Structure formats: C-alpha cells, structure tokens
Amino acid sequence: MLLLSLLPAAAAGTLAEAWEAAETHGTELPLAHEQRLQTDAQRTQSWALLGPKVVAGADYTINEYEVTLDFADMIPEELAPLLGDTTTEPIVLNKKQYLQWNASVIQPIFSPKGWAQFAAAGPAAKAGREGEAGQRAAIKQGIAAAYYGVVVAREGARIAEGALTSAQAHQKLAEQQVTVGLAPPTARLQAEIAVSRAERDLASAREGVTKAQEGLARLTGWSVDEPVTLPEPPTLPYAGTAEAEERALTSRPDVLAAVYRERAATYGRWASDLDWLPTLDGRFTYSYNENTGFSDDKTMWMVVFSAKWTLWDGGARIGAEQAAASQRRMASLAAERARDMASEDVRKAWSAYETAGKSLVAVEHESELARENLRLSEVAFQAGTITFLDLEDARLGARASELARLQQRMSRDLAALTLLATTGDL
C-alpha cells in the first residue's frame, strides 16, 4: 500500500506510548492528579471531627519569690509557751520555679454533625477521583489529536515537496516549449505561478509540521522529531446509540462525579440539621506538676465528660440550613443536567462517527481510482503515449489522494475516540 510506504520506517512512538509519556513528562495529567489528592485530603480532615485527639503541653515557671505557709507563725506569742515546741516545716504554696506538663486524650462521644460531615467526605472524594478521570480522558483526546496531527502534517509536507518538484519540472518544460515555439508565452507565466503556489504550499505545510510537532512534544515530553506511526483504528464496544447512552449514564466520569456531589450535598444538609443537637466529649488527662502545694503527689489523672448544647446562636444555623438546602438542590439539578448532556453528547458523537466513516469509504474509493489512474499512466508512459511529467502528475495525484484518505482516517479515528470519551471508556 502506498500509504504504508510513506510512513517513517524507523522505530516509532505509538499513541499508547504518547499517553504514557504524558503521565510523567507532561503537566496536565500531574495537575489533575494533584487536584484529586486535595479532595482526598478532605476525607482525612473530616475524620478529625470524630477521631481521638492527643494534646500535650508543658510549662516552666519562674516566679519573683517563693510563697510558703508556716503554721508556727499563726500561733499567738502568749500561747506559744503553753503549746511547747511548735516548730513545723513550712509548706511551699508556690515555688520559685517549677515544671509542669500534661497530656490529654479527647474523644468525641456524641457528635451527630461530625458523623454527617464525615459521611459527606466519602462521596466528595469519589467525585474528585471521577473528575480526575474526566480530565484524563480529555487530555488523552488532545494528545491523540496532536499525535494524528503530526502524522498528517508530515505526510502533507512530503506531498507538498513532491508538488514543488513537479511544478519546477513543468516550468522547465514550459520554458523549453516556449523557446522552440511549441507553446505560447503564457505557458511560461502559468508555470511560474504554479511554482510560486507550490513553494507557498510547501512553506505552509512545513509550518504545520512545526506546530504539530511542538504541540505533541509539549504534551508528551518527546523530542520534536520523534517518529510516529498511524495507530490502529479504535474499537467501539457498542451495538448502537442506545447502548452507548446507557454506558455513558453509568460510566461517564462527569455524570458519576455529579451523582457523588449530589450525595455529598445530601449529607451536608443532614449535617446542618444535626447541628441543633448537643455534643458530648470525653477527656482523659494525665498531669505532672512540681509545684505540689498541700499534696505530696506530683502526678495525677482525671476523666472529664463535657456536654455542650447551643440552644440559640443568633440564627447562624438557620442560615446554614438554608444554604445547605440550596446546595442540595443545585447538586440535584447539576446531576440531572450532566445526564442530559451525556445523552446529547453521545448522540452527537455517534452521528459524527457515522458521518466520518461514510466519508472515509468515499475517500478510499477515490484513492483506489487515483491508484488505478497511476497504474494506467505507468502503462501509457511505457507505451510512449504520455510524457514523464504526465506520469509524475499521476503519481502526485495518487499521493494527494492518500493524504486525503489519511486525513479522513484521522477524522474517523478521532470521532471514535470522542465517542469513547463521551461514554467514559477512554
């Protein structure tokens, strides 16, 4: 096949390898991954509302003076002889300097709002993962378009080079014919115009190659001259539009993300309602204090149960409930819209895929006709009924038809990839 002979013979990077390269060398996919990690972190943060907390603290105090208590100083002088020896060891109430530290474990026992917020964090994290999957599919589409663009642009440049060579040969022949009087002077002008047009087309084609190569290199980290090869046509696992729509409603990332956000918003509404209930915490504290005062024990522990019930907060919770209810309704509407858009996108993508497929069949037929014309031209040239330039025109036409087939093949394959993306299978 002529098209295969025009593709690079060197080891080429495949489309799958381009997708893999984008994972490590590009910036879009790593950015999408980091955004997903941020949503995962919200689940960890919500666990802090329910899990135990360990708090430790320490102080080292230096006072201006030491405070002591001596009971002997409290006995009146007139009673001292009657009581005998009243000498006692002074009690230090406040040392000059001392160390104290404590460690506490605080565990929420009854926190209904915390449980609702923790429940909401789960679907929110899943929505983040689906969002990353959706961005990944969109980026893969862009990489595929850039990859195919390089294949087509390079082939177009080769066609343009051949067209310029043919135009220059025509110009040389026209000059010879005009010189010997076999053609009017306008033939020379027409040949010059054809060469100028071919040069302009070649410059435009080379610019297209540069743009296509730079775009693929930016997405994948490959060098701009990386060899590429025409990928195999994507396979569609759907029998029809209805099956593709059903697949989209159950697997498409943005639809799933909207469903998870709706669920998270429902839990968020519950959290606002449950905020009216009291909370109960338990705390265990172990402390050490060198400033013992009347006690001889430097260490002690305590268990504390603390209940809190805010009966009125000035209307803040009422406002929070209204906002949560609105967010819940918005999430529900967004989920419905996502499903409607998914169905519409599938129908459009399926129509585009079918149209591209029919166009490819037509272009393939045109390519077959161009190859047959080339075969007949080669026979005619051998028989001496046409010139070498006529044969070159036939070859150029065959190459141009192959380029058109390649371009339409690209359109069909990209339409298939778009359809796979709209159903969540890319």
Q: What is the pLDDT of residues 65-114, one digit of tens each?
A: 888 876 656 666 666 566 555 566 777 788 889 999 999 999 999 999 99
The 8-class DSSP code of residue 75 comes to: S
**Banded model confidence at residue 365, pLDDT cuts 50, 70, 90:** very high
At 136 the pLDDT is 87
Q: What is the pLDDT of residues 115-173, one digit of tens each?
A: 998 999 899 999 989 988 998 898 889 999 999 999 999 988 988 898 888 888 888 88
* Predicted local confidence at residue 181, as pLDDT: 81
pTM of this prediction exceeds 0.75: yes
| Residue whose token pair is 């209805």 | 242
Sign of the torsion angle spanned by Cα atoms 396, 397, 401, 404: positive
Tell me the pairing of strands 97-110 and 279-289: antiparallel
Q: Round to whole Å and give the CA distance between 234 and 407.
A: 16
pLDDT: which is higher, 411 or 92: 411
Nearest one of 152, 147, 139 to 15, comparing CA atoms: 147
Helix (H), strand (E) counts: the chain: 10, 6
Yes or no: say if 152 and 231 are a contact pair by the CB < 8 Å rule: no
99's tokens: 């160390």
| Averaged pLDDT for residues 206-223 | 92
The pLDDT tens digits of the residues spanning 247-305 come to: 999 999 999 999 999 999 999 999 999 999 999 999 999 999 998 877 788 999 999 99
> Predicted confidence band at 4 (pLDDT cuts at 50, 70, 90)?
very low
Q: In this structure, what token pair is assigned to residue 91? A: 């009690």
Residues 6+ apart with CB under 8 A from 252: 134, 342, 422, 423, 424
Three-state SS annotation for 213-274: HHHHHHHHCCCCCCCECCCCCCCCCCCCHHHHHHHHHHHCHHHHHHHHHHHHHHHHHHHHHH
Which strand ranges, in their side-by-side order, compose the sheet holding 53-62?
53-62, 97-110, 279-289, 299-308
